[in-house]
Structure 1
């Protein structure tokens, strides 16, 4: 089943989508996610190389990406992100946590992809592909049919 124009994302308190919802200016998706620089080669000291980001994506009322705040204090540093995200969320006028629906988008920061990116995960006859999946990067939340807002990790 093809990706819908608006991809529903279910609000799940105390889990990965607990900081999503609406505010006076539209919709928002906030979270903290780890990622590695594209040039990183896995080694035994991987934790020192992982980057932890505070992320706040904002969308208009129709689910179109407007802007993003993305902050990382440095490789291997895993503190300060929650406080930064909390500040950003507190500054959203009229903020209410709840379900949202967004259009796919993609931006790049520090060489890392952030966004809700359409992909093909199905098995199709030779020569045919269909964008049937949307992956939220860098945290890897996958959305697919029946497009009810639930995700796979």
Structure 2
């Protein structure tokens, strides 16, 4: 299945995609607080999994054509450090990242596929050509036809 060149992503208030939009002269951003497990983890997880779950503030930046330019990131801590506290720290840092952008408008965006690695974890918008969908990692959002910006989790 042929995938679109740019993947539309709908901004949904009070949802995972609340921190997406444009800034400056049409450049785009996607911000998330997200967790991933150390890459050496395999399923099923061990009983004491909390030291392996890492939380990040992530801000993906794109040019006005939707091409990935940079990913700002900040490691907030692990679930074993106190998940609620770590998530709040990550939210605060994400808010700071976004506040450093000029002319922010929260809105739907449309961006190209990309992939980057941070601390041995994959982040990005990655195609699964065989299944005909695109996945936002490590969030596990699935974008698929009719390519209207909506996603499954």
Which TM-score applies when normalising by structure 2? Answer: 0.89
Indicate whether 1:53 and 2:62 are aligned.
Answer: no
When structure 1 is superposed on structure 2, of 23-32 and 68-77 the one drifting more is: 68-77
Name which of structure 1's ranges 8-17 and 41-50 shifts more when overlaid on structure 2: 41-50
> 2:12 is matched with which residue?
12
Which residue pairs with 1:32 in the alignment? 33
Displacement of 1:49 in angstroms is: 1.8
Stretch of structure 1 that moved more, 42-51 or 55-64: 42-51
Decide whether the 8 Å contact of 2:57 with 2:76 is kept in 1: no
Equivalent residue number for residue 144 of structure 2: 144
Residue in structure 1 matching 2:115, options 76, 100, 106: 106
Q: Distance in 2 between matches of 1:115 and 1:6?
A: 13
Instruction: Report runs of 4+ in structure 1 exceeding 2 Å deviation.
Output: 73-78
Provide the residue aligned with 1:96 in structure 2: 105
> Between Structure 1 and Structure 2, which shows a larger proportion of helix residues?
2
Deviation at 1:107, TM superposition (A): 0.5
What are the within-5 Å matches in structure 2 for residues 39-78 of structure 1? Answer: 39-41=40-42, 42-76=45-79, 77=81, 78=83
Deviation at 1:72, TM superposition (A): 1.0
Q: For 1:3, what is the secondary structure of its paired residue?
A: coil
Partner SS for 2:76: coil
What's the secondary structure of 1:39's corresponding residue? Answer: coil
State the distance in 2 between where 1:121 and 1:143 align.
Answer: 14
TM-score, reference length from structure 1 = 0.89
More strand by share: 2
- 1:73 alignment partner, SS class: strand
Q: For the aligned residues, what is the CA RMSD? A: 1.3
**Alpha-carbon distance in structure 2 between the residues aligned to 1:133 and 1:151:** 10
